[in-house]
Amino acid sequence: MLTAQMKSGTIFSLGTEYKKEMLLIIRKNEEFFCPACGERVSLKLGNQRIFHFAHRSGTVCRDFHESETLYHMKGKLQLYQWLERQGIPAALEFYDSIIKQRPDIVFQYGGNKYALEYQCSPISEDIFIKRTAAYYQQNYIPLWIMGSKHMKAKRKNIFSLSGFDYFFLRKTKDNHLILPSYCPEEQQFKILSSIQHYSIKNALAYVTHYPLQKTVIEEILAPKPTNHFSFAKWTMEMEKFIWNWSLHPNPELNRFLREIYMHNLNLYLLPPEIGLPGSQSLFIQTPPIIWQTYLYLDVLQDKSPNDLIDLRVVERHYNKRIMKTEIINRNMPQLPNVISFNAVKEYFLQLERLGILTNKSETVFQLQTKIFIPKSNREKEERRNEFCQKNKFILASI
């Protein structure tokens, strides 16, 4: 840790860049204590790591559930000094005795109070949720930033994201969903945006780099990512996913396959209207190809042109699938008021733009044309090419 309490009760912070000679004198004449547990801590002034305080062996501090790495300490120190250079009131490792938590950095900006957590190691979902809820309780805006070394790029614009990684997902002031990270070795922020997951673990996304020395706080709180979405890239990755998925079946896939085969559908011959990306699709952990197929089976398959579709009925079907764990929602602690069914509404609005549905009212759609189900690979390719050509401008704006 980078702060400690002196005998006088004053907080001593290593966020200020002291010379080693000065710190040696201070260490000789002062005792330091952990603000959380009150135990003595030692001021470490070695040459291998940055200067820091450490609990003595045998002590157990309730405030430190994870051991700090050099990567973590360097990162939060750089972030603190970055805020200081901008004249933003900030406190390093401020201990809030009411909620008994010590965020890495507390700062005030734009009339709001922020609790910045720079997280470089996995913690349990319960702890993440508990800390986030406590910050909201004390009127902090939680700002979780992931250590960039945990952001795994599989290939260009394809990232492997765990359930824990999605905890860092937050909404900007402009309602963009982003996943922020910071690398102290490169001294730059890396922000994922336009995130479109096509499987539980993999997503098509775009990363923007923000060098620390050239970036101000507003660019991190409200970045303006450019939408680089490519439907052709999405389709290619979906094809790979379906192929690999079928080669390595699991209970979820087997259950899904049994149901679609009962309805004369083939995993390899699903139409392009099923499995569409969407900005709110992240609210649902289940891949789009699955939950949109379920919507087709439950709502669209037996409908004829001009039939009406009530979203309240759609929601009942959707909730039944959730009850049977055939559709699983994603837990996102920083987006506590998210309603996953909004992803379904978004999908129906996409079908309207594609000419499949007409929106008659806030909750009612009318089927205009049935979704064509290909019977062969040739029909599938022809249908997909026709679909992409006809809707290229619509698909480019997803």
pLDDT digits (tens, 9 = 90+) for 240-279: 999 888 888 788 888 899 999 999 999 999 999 999 999 8
The pLDDT of residue 283: 94
The pLDDT of residue 226: 66
What pLDDT digit, counting tens, does each position of 115-172 carry?
999 998 888 888 999 999 999 999 999 999 999 988 888 888 999 999 899 999 998 8
How far apart are the C-alpha atoms of 129 and 149, rounded to whole Å?
A: 22
How far apart are the C-alpha atoms of 96 and 53, rounded to whole Å?
A: 19
Intervals of CATH 3.40.1350.10 along the chain: 65-221
CB neighbour list of residue 325: distance below 8 Å, 6 or more residues apart: none
Q: What is the DSSP letter of 390?
A: H
DSSP bridge partners of 328: none
Q: Which position has the token pair 């907080």? A: 11
Tens digit of pLDDT at every position of the chain (398 positions): 777 777 766 677 777 776 666 776 667 667 777 877 777 887 777 665 677 777 776 666 655 544 678 788 889 999 999 999 999 999 998 888 899 888 999 999 999 999 999 998 888 888 999 999 999 999 999 999 999 988 888 888 999 999 899 999 998 877 889 999 999 999 999 999 989 999 999 999 999 999 999 999 999 998 877 667 788 889 999 999 998 888 887 888 888 999 999 999 999 999 999 999 998 999 999 999 999 999 999 999 999 999 999 999 999 999 999 999 999 999 888 988 889 999 999 999 999 999 999 999 999 999 999 999 999 999 999 998 888 888 877 777 76
The pLDDT of residue 175: 82
The pLDDT of residue 253: 83
Exposed/middle/buried for residue 80 (C-beta within 10 Å: 0-12, 13-18, 19+): buried
Question: Other C-beta atoms within 10 Å of 17: how many?
Answer: 8
Q: Quick one: how far is CA 92 from the chain centroid?
A: 25
Q: Token digits for 31?
A: 């005792």
Q: Confirm if 234 and 196 have CB atoms less than 8 A apart.
A: yes
Sheet of 308-310: strands edge to edge?
308-310, 364-367, 357-359
Which fold, 65-221? Trna Endonuclease; Chain: A, domain 1 (3.40.1350)
How far apart are the C-alpha atoms of 111 and 100, rounded to whole Å?
A: 24
Print burial letters for 329-361: b (CB count within 10 Å at least 16), e (below 16). Answer: ebebbbbeebebbebbbbbbebbeebebbeeee
Q: Which position has the token pair 């379906």? A: 242
Q: Confirm if 361 and 324 have CB atoms less than 8 A apart.
A: no
The pLDDT of residue 66: 47
Q: Which position has the token pair 């402009």? A: 174
The pLDDT of residue 360: 93
